[in-house]
Structure 1
Amino acid sequence: MQTVLISGGGIAGPVLAHGLRRHGFKPTVVERAPALRPGGQAVDIRGVALEVMERMGLLEQARRVRTRMRGMSILAPDGQEVDRSTEAVFSSGRLDSDDIELLREDLVRMAYEHTREGAEYLFGDSVTGLDEDETGVRVAFAHGPSRTFDLVVGADGLHSTVRRLAFGPEEDVAHHLGSYLSVFGADNFLGLDDWQLWLRDGDAGFGIMPVRGSTELRIAFGFESAPLAPDLRDGGALRQLVVDRLASLRWEGARLAEAARKAPDFYCDAMAQIRMDQWSRGRVTLLGDAAWCPSPLSGQGTSLALVGAHVLADCLARDRGDHLAAFARYERRMRPFVTLNQALATENPGGPASEASLAHAKNALTLDG
């Protein structure tokens, strides 16, 4: 039985573990966090990714916990409504679509609970070294003892450690898109009832949506910026930068800044894409944002992670014993799909891609191809 180490316990990692286990592999998932990560924005499952969820037996469960918005208001910088829609919202598109929007933490929990009996999970640890030879990859961990695996998959996000160890510095493959995004939760101090608010004030703006039966808010705050200096990228300095930028907003700036300051699930990172000529090297391959991060601006990061995990598991099963052939097949199948979906992020700077472009991109792959 071939052993596969998957670095990253978010969405792509557990979904890959499910597919590998089903095909007779022995997956181990290592996750830096001590437990499942809470919080995060709402994410979308679209097009062919819905079929992945159906094949996993999770589609109906995802539909039960989907967000259910009534519409949205677009606000001027002073908070006055300038437009509204009861047909579509910026976070997920048309409200009558078959696509599913749900909280990231709900999808992560679903994927984990669906796979934990068939995969080994190592929480609170991370990969620190890779040493490959003709028989496998000797993996060093930050806390646990070194172990050897037949294959290693980096599904550890935009700032992937596996990618750095196997391919080199992040700066060689990361392309900054000119802005940062912060996401955090708060009590519903605005009294929103399944209704989103969107506002832009100069080079910054936010989207606010109620969740959990409108008892909580998820706030997504974006601001234009060149890449920040390393000393501003640590958690405390970056949070303070976001707090200060929020406080400068003309509408609800003070309360939003206070919510960001107190939020236990505070997140902020650059809007960037990963663009690589090759996702595999030897016995190591990359998956999800580690390989092709399209950025949240595309709206397709989650769908790409789901589809990529399914395709990689399928390719490894087809070419069992020949990982080089499997990885090559995986790249041939996924790369055109990734390219189309990455393009959604830059098609309409400052706004969403067209419905036609999204409809084409989200369905531009056949799972059994």
Structure 2
Amino acid sequence: MADAARDLRTAADDLERARERVETVGETQLRRCREAYRELLDLLDRYEGRATGSGDFKAFTEFQGAVATLAEDLDEDLPERETFEAVDDYLQQRRLSEADFETARRKLEPVGDLVGRLDEWERAREDYADARRAARRRLDELDERVAELERLRRLGDADLDAPVDRLREPVGAYDDAVREAFREFRSDAPARELLALVERTEAFPLVEFTPPPDDLLAYVRDHEAGTEPVPTLLEYADYSASKLAHYVDDAAALQRAVATRRTYLRNLDAEPLTVGWPPPPADHLPWLAREYRRVVASFADETVVARLRDVRALADREDYERLRESAVARAELTDEEHERLASGAVERDLRAAREERSAIEDALAAHDPL
């Protein structure tokens, strides 16, 4: 695995060296020199095929004139100005060959090496920015890693012999009761009433029903078939068009709205209203129970609501978190995780992750963004 802190420090050092090499000459001076260097290379490339030998005399004179003008226009203090002038002098011959163009390029190599400092600096800036981004990404990964290892360590400290049935029994009793109540409601209530209830749960963020599709909701609201329960509508959806015409006023509308939504209707159950096992943390359970009660009370009898109150009361137990941690540990810790906890591997990994995270934070603090 890459060492993000080391890579960032290395990139910072490379950037500083590159910056110093540029400042030794001067950034502005180097940029002017690079512009002239590139312009002269471009002239060599464009005219090499036309200004050589005894070919295009016009191109030959144009080329020599352009090179002379470039050399004459150079600032007196331009780095490597003498090299440009030397190349100009060399190219002012009565006849030029391809070898002369290659010689001119070789004579320009010192200029290329000098202006290469700018390229080196620009690459170093990009590498440094990349290294900072990589360090930030690694820091996010380590935050998640540390949180997971701390969770494992916490679960490893849980009392696996704690009497979790004190929580399991009321939670299980409520979950079973609400499932049965919802099954009855789904079987007997008009589909428009059931789907209206599901639609209203969008006001309760902790009740995670999938909202009814708009076309299905519109159909059960606007057609007489919406007074039938969901199982009946699903049965209708399997009828042929001719048979369906005996049961509904618009067979095609039912096919469009219901037949295409079979999966949604078949999967509609009480799971979004169950607490589940292991139960949520104590500070979350009261909010969950509060939203569940607003929904459950609209279709279930008082015994189901009473069981939900029993679940809500669990959060007030002094031993709730201890019992819950035991339940979570039993439910979530794998055999491998038990072994890693027992061997000390989790503690070692946690220490290493924290040290790496600290090193990256120090490196980011020590080296400013561009």
Query: Normalising to structure 1: TM-score of the pair?
Result: 0.16
Higher alpha-carbon Rg: 2
Query: Normalising to structure 2: TM-score of the pair?
Result: 0.16
Greater helix share, structure number? 2
